[in-house]
Amino acid sequence: MDDIDQAILRELQVDGRIPYAELGPKVGLSPSAARLRLQRLIDSKAVQVVGVTDPMTMGRQTMALLGLRVDGDPRAVADELSRHDEVVYTVLTAGSFDLFAEVVCAHPRDLLDFVNDVVRAVEGVAAVESFPYFAIHTHRFLWNVE
């Protein structure tokens, strides 16, 4: 990734919908050259351009981090949990938990049902500890691109 690629990424972090007519001149390229550069970054999987939602404003008022202890391969449990829309991401880890899963639900009762009826039923799940969120204090999508 060269200096121009990094400049493109910095601009996209400010405005992911910036038109190529504006992006090109900001990074020292023509609009068509900027489009080609960005497409190359997307094709190489170095960059994803996505719309980021706020679950709270979309009616999902309950969020939690689940710490799971797993008997067996935690990847299989992560794969199974990832099939559910409530799961935002899963992380394989070390320490007292084998796996973390962030989940979003409409209501606290939905979180309870998800943990008890779905998560605990997954083969290999030995224990689940739930950490409900009171508020999201910091949520960054800006990375120092260098």
Residues with Cβ within 8 Å of 49's Cβ and at least 6 positions away in sequence, in order, are 12, 16, 38, 42
Q: What is the CATH number of domain 3-43?
A: 1.10.10.10
Through-space distance between the first and last CA atoms of the chain, rounded to whole angstroms: 9
Q: For residue 72, give both structure tokens.
A: 């067996």
Q: For residue 74, give both structure tokens.
A: 């935690």
Taking only Cα atoms into account, the Rg of the chain, rounded to an integer number of angstroms, comes to: 20
pTM of the predicted model, to two decimals?
0.69
Reported as a single tens digit per residue, the pLDDT across 89-109 is 999 999 999 999 999 999 999
Q: CATH fold of 62-132, please?
A: Alpha-Beta Plaits (3.30.70)
Residue extents of the structural domains in the chain: 3-43, 62-132
Q: What is the pLDDT of residue 136?
A: 75
